[in-house]
Amino acid sequence: MTLDGPSVLEKVREQEEQIIAELSHIVSMSSYTYSPESVDLLQQYLAEQLRKEGCRIEFLPSENPQFARHLRAEFGSGEDQILVLAHADTVYPQKYISAEAIYQEDDRLYGPGVYDMKGGIVQLLWAVRLIKALGCQTRYRVCIIINSDSEAGGISSRRHIENEAIKSKAVFVLESARVPEGEMKSSHCGSGRYRLKVSGQSGHPSQSSPATSAIQELSFQIQRLHSLSQPEKTVVVNVGQIWGGDTVNTVSPHATALIEMRFLDPKDGAATEELILNAQPFTNCQVEINGSITRPAMLRNAYTQRLMCQVKHLAKHIGLEFGDGVPGEASDGNYAAALGVPTLDGIGPVGGGAHSEQEFIIKDSLATRTALLILILCKAKFC
């Protein structure tokens, strides 16, 4: 068949129910980043599906045994390669996964991980299946990396992503896109992660000075860290996790916080990092902080703009229109973009509520974005 947009979309729509059923299935498979056995089960399922369609499959070792191994798949032929990135892990431990947590309401499908980013993964599976079923050829050899540690910053898969990105003409990231428009992104914030450790002195609350409480010291540090955010400059500092103390009737001798910083301008990122790392105690406790910028910012340039124009043009063939998204999130695409390879993110379905119990996608966007992915893989030309 000729690969025109409307007929590709029609073919995808014929499979719509099965696409939604498969998405519900893989959402029901818990794949919490810090549960490598469960992530590996999903990776094995994905490898099996891709192998059936003729993809060459390889598992890549994780640099850190805390995370599951990563999946590499390849199909098509030719010297020139394009790279498709996805991640199998989610932020949801097993307790969030239940039959009740995955449901459809009006035009939406809800579920933990449906948006970030199992919707994009299921699009990929169906794009590969339909390209084969339609008897089409991809314009370039397609390398797929599905990593297992993206929600932990992608540190143990970064080397594999960079190895493939540097050989690629373009990189497409299957993260979802936000309602209502589903804009794609050619720029992203960079991010850094830090750990703050506070040491105090334990004792009976009635006999000790509050100035030795690690929890009190941490509370001051949290205020300081949050005050470093500058929304007008797209700099965000967030203390995402804290713990500490021994018992309710003991002055806390220890407390810890995990911090994330996001930035758009690398200069702002470096300046804010310096402030984060310059933690001085407010009380008689000791503070120790370490960490660094882990994901470089993904900046828009003439090459990514050209890539965006081409994808928008293909999208028009199936009646899709969207603008350029504002940077906020960081993704594994940042690693590819930092090497100067044109990178586009947000190819996944349209939805919202990432990392919450209200995560959802618009069902219809699964079909349209799958069709768009097929058109990108088969028709787009990169210089």
The contact set with Zn ion (CB under 5 A) reads: 116-117, 175
CA angle 184, 42, 63 (to 5 degrees): 80
For Zn ion, which residue has the nearest CB? 116
Minimum distance of Zn ion from residue 153's CB (angstroms): 11
Single-letter code of the amino acid located at 271: A
Which residues, at least 6 apart from 139, have a Cβ–Cβ distance to it below 8 Å? 377, 378, 379, 380, 381
Which residues, at least 6 apart from 149, have a Cβ–Cβ distance to it below 8 Å? 33, 62, 64, 67, 68, 70, 87, 89, 155, 156, 157
Residue 262: is it exposed, middle or buried by C-beta count within 10 angstroms (0-12/13-18/19+)? Answer: buried
Identify which of residues 182 and 253 has a Cβ nearer to Zn ion in the complex: 182
Buried b (16+ CB within 10 A) or exposed e, 81-116: bbbbbbbbbbbbeeebbeeebbeeeeebbbbbbbbb
Identify which of residues 175 and 217 has a Cβ nearer to Zn ion in the complex: 175
- Report the alpha-carbon distance of residue 169 to residue 191 in Å, rounded: 25
- Report the alpha-carbon distance of residue 114 to residue 102 in Å, rounded: 9
Identify which of residues 217 and 329 has a Cβ nearer to Zn ion in the complex: 329
CA distances from residue 273 to 78, 192, 194, 237, 285 in whole angstroms, order as listed: 43, 8, 9, 10, 22
Minimum distance of Zn ion from residue 88's CB (angstroms): 10
| 51 DSSP β-pair partners | none
Closest among 89, 144, 100 to 347, alpha carbons compared:
144
Identify which of residues 244 and 349 has a Cβ nearer to Zn ion in the complex: 349
Identify which of residues 145 and 279 has a Cβ nearer to Zn ion in the complex: 145
Minimum distance of Zn ion from residue 173's CB (angstroms): 9
Minimum distance of Zn ion from residue 325's CB (angstroms): 14
Minimum distance of Zn ion from residue 89's CB (angstroms): 9
Minimum distance of Zn ion from residue 361's CB (angstroms): 13
Identify which of residues 151 and 164 has a Cβ nearer to Zn ion in the complex: 151
Minimum distance of Zn ion from residue 150's CB (angstroms): 6
What does R_g of the chain's alpha carbons equal in angstroms? Answer: 22
Identify which of residues 116 and 149 has a Cβ nearer to Zn ion in the complex: 116
DSSP string for 227-242: HT-BGGGTBEEEEEEE
Identify which of residues 72 and 188 has a Cβ nearer to Zn ion in the complex: 188
Minimum distance of Zn ion from residue 171's CB (angstroms): 15
- Report the alpha-carbon distance of residue 331 to residue 345 in Å, rounded: 8
